[in-house]
């Protein structure tokens, strides 16, 4: 049976890093996204933390058909419908509620829900989610926590996000229950401010070489 997360998991192959993005203009979104995709990171999580987020999702999805555009910081069912209509192919949430789980089914959106504890992971599993965001990764126990979860919940796969950088990513990716990691280190704020798209592309190329 296809669950709300298996379809997402099946599509995510050979992509070790999902950039977590906070765009402040459509122009910025297009330049940064193009640099990331051309650097080998086609999966993009555009967070709903700025007023232009939905417009950015729509613009990037249209301009870069080779990208797999997703929406992050999704908190309710209404946002699931909004990001789907904007062109997002998946959604990421910091946590999971019953309303959000039901909303993902109704909207037909692949949802990557966040969990931080065994109980939250079990709740997600009860709702058919087997691919989860472990968030906030470093604050919630990091690699030792994921190792501990593997024993009783080996059927679950994770995308740890929160406090992960280029140095920490390989340790996470070496875990048997980790598919990929989420992070913003590939898009440094000073590179965006300086419009140094080549630097972002280079960081994406380095991240794309990491392998779970």
Residues classed as catalytic: 45, 133
> DSSP states of 63-77 as a string?
H-TTSEEEEES--SH
Q: Are 20 and 164 in contact (CB under 8 A)?
A: no
Rounded to an integer, what distance in angstroms lies between the CA atom of residue 206 and that of residue 203?
5
Q: Are 54 and 87 in contact (CB under 8 A)?
A: no
Sign of the four-CA dihedral 31, 37, 38, 39? positive
CB count in 10 Å sphere of residue 44? 29
Give the angle 94-133-28 at the CA atoms, nearest 5°.
70
Q: Are 38 and 12 in contact (CB under 8 A)?
A: no
């Amino acid at each position: 049976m296809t669950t709300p997360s298996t379809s997402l998991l099946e599509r995510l192959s050979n992509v070790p890093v999902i950039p977590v993005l906070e765009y402040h203009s459509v122009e910025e979104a297009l330049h940064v996204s193009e640099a990331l995709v051309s650097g080998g990171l086609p999966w993009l999580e555009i967070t709903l933390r700025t007023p232009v987020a939905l417009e950015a999702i729509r613009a990037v999805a249209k301009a870069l058909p080779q990208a797999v555009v997703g929406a992050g910081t999704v908190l309710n069912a209404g946002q699931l419908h909004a990001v789907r209509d904007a062109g997002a192919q998946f959604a990421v949430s910091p946590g999971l509620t019953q309303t959000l789980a039901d909303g993902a089914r109704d909207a037909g959106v692949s949802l990557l829900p966040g969990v931080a504890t065994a109980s939250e992971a079990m709740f997600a599993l009860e709702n058919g989610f087997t691919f989860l965001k472990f968030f906030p990764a470093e604050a919630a126990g990091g690699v030792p926590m994921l190792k501990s979860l593997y024993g009783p919940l080996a059927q679950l796969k994770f995308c740890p996000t929160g406090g992960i950088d280029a140095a920490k990513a390989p340790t996470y990716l070496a875990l048997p229950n980790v598919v990929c990691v989420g992070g913003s280190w590939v898009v440094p704020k000073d590179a965006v401010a300086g419009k140094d798209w080549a630097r972002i592309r280079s960081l994406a190329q380095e991240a794309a070489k990491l392998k779970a």
